[in-house]
Amino acid sequence: MDFTRKLIVTPDKKIKLDKYDPADTLGYENDKKSEAKLDKHLKRLDELQDLFYAEKKRALLVVLQGMDAAGKDGTIRHVMSGVSPQGCSVKSFKAPNSEELAHDFLWRIHQAVPEKGMFGIFNRSHYEDVLVVRVHNLVSKDVWKARYDQINRFEKNLAANDVKILKLFLHISREEQEKRFQERLHDPRKKWKYSKADPAERKRWDDYVTAYEAVLSRCSTEYAPWFIIPSDHKWFRNLAISRIIVETLEEFDMHYPKSPQDS
């Protein structure tokens, strides 16, 4: 658990992201040993998911947030590679449609929360409503400022109803983001990911840093903690996230239910 404690955001702690090195690997090297640890985590995750699905006592919600090109899609593809699709759902939150805009900002989120026995992965989330909405001035300051407390109450209610929430901020440097954008432009397999909006959003980097610092400072709680995941190195990102999920699941002390004929 020492590993996890190094990455978790203490509730009510004032966060300044320039104090966190996005290239940190906590002493791990990109070698066979780390590769073996990741393989071990992924195999254990597969075992625990089967048990989690069978018990159906709780749900797991993993929230992925980060700057553009931080690796949200890559995390889902690599860390969840061995998980059964039967017990896992992935939801990507884009700009809200007209129906969603006609409701409160948490309406579409609540509908996507996983049921008991399921893993739910959010690629972006309700936090967009205090990130992009704030940076682009889509609502008034009074509106988005009130949302921090609304989000905390919402997550507290989920936790009270057996939804375990893990929120992962994929922390990359501005230089690494530029490198990944260039890779997208020159790799036919990744070019489709590049958007004309990317350069404009990149100019708002400092504004997004400020918005993320507020989120991490105000919305990391005992029942729904934030983790700052150094993500300049994809291999370490995957290692860290897989370990956090495995350790969280192991804390539940799960057991397979008895057969009806054994009751």
- Helices and strands in the chain: count of H runs, count of E runs: 11, 5
CA-CA distance, 74 to 204, in Å (whole number)? Answer: 23
The class level of CATH for 2-251 reads alpha beta
CA 61 to chain centre: 9
User: What pLDDT, on a 0 to 100 scale, did the predictor assign at position 262?
Assistant: 64
Pick the closest to residue 231 from 150, 170, 145 (CA basis). 170
21 Cβ contact partners less than 8 Å away, ≥ 6 residues apart = 230
**How buried is 171 (Cβ within 10 angstroms: 0-12 exposed, 13-18 middle, 19+ buried)?**
buried
- The sheet carrying 226-230 orders its strands as 88-92, 119-123, 59-66, 163-171, 226-230
pLDDT of residue 160: 98
Is residue 238 within 8 A of residue 78, CB to CB? The reply is: yes
Tens of pLDDT along the chain (263 residues)? 678 889 999 999 999 999 999 999 999 999 999 999 999 999 999 999 999 999 999 999 999 999 999 999 999 999 998 899 999 999 999 999 999 999 999 999 999 999 999 999 999 999 999 999 999 999 999 999 999 999 999 999 999 999 999 999 999 999 999 999 998 888 887 777 777 777 888 899 999 999 999 999 999 999 999 999 999 999 999 999 999 999 999 999 999 998 777 65
The closest of 67, 34, 60 to 235, measured between CA atoms, is 34
Distance CA 259, CA 131 (A): 47
Query: Tell me, what's the pLDDT at 82?
Result: 83
Question: Looking at residue 198, what is its pLDDT?
Answer: 79
Question: Where along the chain do its domains lie?
Answer: 2-251
Q: How many CB atoms lie within 10 A of CB 76?
A: 18
Strand segments (E) across the chain: 59-66, 88-92, 119-123, 163-171, 226-230
CB 120 within 8 A of CB 52: no
